[in-house]
Amino acid sequence: MKKEIKRMVKCDVCKNMIEIDQYGNGECQNCGWLQSEESYQHPNIPGIRNIPSLNNAIKQYNNGESATLANFNDFIETYNNYGEVEFTLNNIRYGILYDDVTNKIELLNIKTNEKQLFNSIDDFILNAQINGMLLKDIWGNVTNTDFLQDT
The site for Zn ion (CB under 5 A) is made up of 11, 13-14, 16, 28, 30-31, 33
Query: At closest approach, how far in Å is the CB of 15 from Zn ion?
Result: 7
**Which CB sits closer to Zn ion, 32 or 93?**
32
CA geometry: angle 33, 86, 77, nearest 5 deg? 75
**Which CB sits closer to Zn ion, 11 or 142?**
11
Query: At closest approach, how far in Å is the CB of 99 from Zn ion?
Result: 36
Query: At closest approach, how far in Å is the CB of 61 from Zn ion?
Result: 7
**Helical H segments across the chain, by residue range:** 37-41, 54-62, 72-82, 121-127, 135-138
Query: At closest approach, how far in Å is the CB of 55 from Zn ion?
Result: 14
**Which CB sits closer to Zn ion, 13 or 107?**
13
Residue 20 phi, psi (nearest 5) = -120, 155
Residue 41 phi, psi (nearest 5) = -75, -25
**How far is it, in rounded angstroms, from Cα 136 to Cα 36?**
28
**Which CB sits closer to Zn ion, 30 or 55?**
30
